[in-house]
């Protein structure tokens, strides 16, 4: 069983999979998949924790155990639905809920000449106590996958590229796997690539800014813009878009990873919601306040332009890309999907569903596969992706 709640903190994805074949040619059958939405009060607490405001340690500790219980519930539910006794599950791989993530601040080349203490390394924290999951399910659990990669000097993210590599590599076709979750990330697999030729990085916001704006404008009544239909009615505010596309993050070459620390509510507040200076300017020039739908449309455009821009700047120049395989909740936003196609007419678009990886389930499947690898003492990170010094076995084991 693979478990994850992504940066959107919309709920816990649980995938029950059967793995067969040798680890490097693993075959996957998805037996069952479900998403258990967080109860609204829990979601608010998770978002507050991840929002970077000062929080008592007790709250972190409490939520860690509460989420452990909810993650266990999700694992049990996916077993119940497929009528499988939980004790027959070989292992649960739980990503947990990220509440803090920051990649290393010093580039790898420079790190090599420094002691780990000299270069402030990255740090990352996922919660949902694995001991609770193991106890409630009676199944051993591997959790905390990102820490070992960060300890080895890596970004700790993304980790899904190994799954992409195992399942989507092709002898003839250059492939980009694009996941549009809260954050958008890509895995680049050139034709005939070996594991050390895979590139992967976060391109920036996926649904995170869109969701944040919708939540703000509806007083929390709506969680996302279904189908992208609201944004579709707005107009792009070009000067704002141009300014945001010049942000440092977009201009930094990979490896790079990001999260709510960068593109969370603070970012929205600064760039979209509170702009006293520009608002005065507007009054002086007698311009109307920007409408919510225009802001939403601008955020959507920033999202697709940052994705296409990253591919154009850092991926397409490195070699032929023939197909883009898309997954994540963003695939349901028709505006995002249409604009991506328009911005990159030279590649063909597919949904990961066409490759046996349902778009919603891919990340959960990845953590089942990663747990299996860890059990077998096999590395789960790709150093060419995360920037780690070496390939390492990921995760910590709680026996049942």
Ligand X SMILES: Nc1ncnc2c1ncn2[C@@H]1O[C@H](COP(=O)(O)OP(=O)(O)O)[C@@H](O)[C@H]1O
Site for ligand X contains 330 (CB under 6 A):
yes
Shortest distance, position 330 Cβ to ligand X, whole Å: 6
Nearest approach, Cβ of residue 358 and ligand X (Å): 11
Closest distance between Mg ion and the C-beta of residue 128, in Å? 13
How far apart CA 290 and CA 273 sit, in angstroms, is 10
Strands 175-180 and 323-327: parallel
Residues 274-303 within binding reach of ligand X (CB under 6 A): none
- Closest residue to Mg ion, Cβ-based? 6
The pair phi, psi for residue 176, each rounded to 5°, is: -115, 125
Are 68 and 131 a contacting pair, CB within 8 Å? yes
Nearest distance in Å: CB 200, ligand X? 15
Rank residues 198 and 326 by Cβ distance to ligand X and give the closer one: 326
- From 1, 2, 3, 8, residue interacting with ligand X (rule: CB under 6 A): 8
Using CA atoms of 7, 262, 311, 4 in order, give the dihedral in degrees to the nearest 10: -10
Q: Which helix (H) or strand (E) segment is 323 a member of?
A: strand 323-327
Query: Which position among 332, 341, 350, 389 is part of the footprint of ligand X (CB under 6 A)?
Result: 332
> Looking at beta carbons only, is 195 or 265 nearer to ligand X?
265
**Cβ 48 vs Cβ 110: under 8 Å:** no
Among 8, 111, 179, 258, binds Mg ion (CB under 5 A): 8
Is residue 193 within 8 Å of 169, Cβ to Cβ? yes
Q: Which is nearer to Mg ion, 119 or 208 (CB)?
A: 208
Q: Which is nearer to Mg ion, 10 or 149 (CB)?
A: 10
**Which SS3 state, helix, strand or coil, does residue 301 take?**
helix
Q: What's the CA gap between 330 and 265, in Å, rounded? A: 19
Using CB under 6 A as the binding rule, whether residue 309 contacts ligand X is answered as no
Cβ at position 232, least distance to Mg ion in Å: 23
Residues 55-114 within binding reach of ligand X (CB under 6 A):
none
When CB distances are held under 5 to 8 angstroms depending on the partner's kind, the choice from Mg ion, ligand X, none that residue 7 binds is ligand X
366's tokens: 């990845």
Nearest to 259 by CA among 126, 106, 395: 126
Give the H/E segment covering residue 337.
helix 334-343
Q: Which residues bind ligand X (CB under 6 A)?
A: 6-8, 10, 181-182, 207, 210-211, 224-228, 328-330, 332-333, 363
């Amino acid at each position: 069983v693979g478990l994850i709640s992504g940066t959107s903190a919309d709920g816990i994805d649980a995938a029950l999979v059967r793995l067969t074949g040798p680890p490097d040619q693993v075959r996957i059958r998805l037996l069952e998949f479900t998403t258990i939405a967080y109860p609204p009060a829990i979601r608010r607490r998770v978002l507050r924790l991840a929002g970077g405001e000062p929080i008592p340690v007790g709250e972190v500790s409490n939520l860690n155990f509460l989420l452990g219980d909810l993650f266990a519930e999700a694992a049990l539910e996916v077993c119940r639905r497929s009528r499988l006794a939980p004790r027959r599950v070989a292992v649960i791989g739980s990503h947990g809920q990220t509440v803090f993530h920051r990649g290393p601040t010093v580039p790898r080349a420079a790190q090599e000449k420094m002691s780990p203490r000299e270069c402030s390394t990255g740090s990352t924290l996922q919660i949902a106590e694995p001991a609770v999951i193991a106890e409630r399910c009676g199944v051993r659990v591997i959790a905390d996958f990102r820490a070992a990669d960060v300890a080895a000097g890596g970004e700790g993210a993304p980790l899904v590229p190994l799954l992409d590599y195992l399942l989507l590599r092709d002898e003839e076709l250059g492939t980009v796997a694009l996941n549009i979750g809260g954050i958008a990330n890509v895995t680049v697999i050139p034709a005939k690539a070996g594991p050390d030729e895979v590139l992967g990085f976060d391109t920036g916001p996926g649904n995170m800014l869109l969701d944040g704006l919708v939540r703000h404008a509806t007083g929390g009544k709506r969680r996302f813009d279904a189908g992208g239909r609201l944004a579709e009615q707005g107009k792009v505010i070009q000067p704002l878009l141009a300014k945001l596309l010049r942000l440092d993050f977009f201009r930094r070459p990979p490896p790079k990873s990001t999260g709510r620390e960068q593109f969370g509510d603070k970012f929205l507040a600064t760039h979209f919601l509170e702009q006293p200076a520009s608002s005065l300017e507007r009054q002086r020039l007698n311009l109307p306040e920007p409408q919510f739908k225009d802001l939403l449309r601008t955020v959507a455009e920033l999202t697709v332009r940052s994705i296409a821009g990253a591919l154009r700047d850092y991926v397409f120049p490195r070699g032929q890309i023939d197909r883009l395989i898309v997954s994540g909740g963003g695939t349901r936003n028709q505006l995002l999907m249409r604009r991506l196609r328009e911005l990159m007419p030279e590649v063909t678009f597919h949904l990961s569903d066409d490759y046996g990886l349902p778009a919603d389930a891919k990340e959960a499947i990845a953590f089942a596969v990663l747990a299996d690898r860890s059990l077998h003492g096999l590395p789960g990170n790709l150093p060419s992706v995360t920037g780690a010094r070496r390939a390492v076995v990921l995760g910590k084991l709680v026996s049942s």
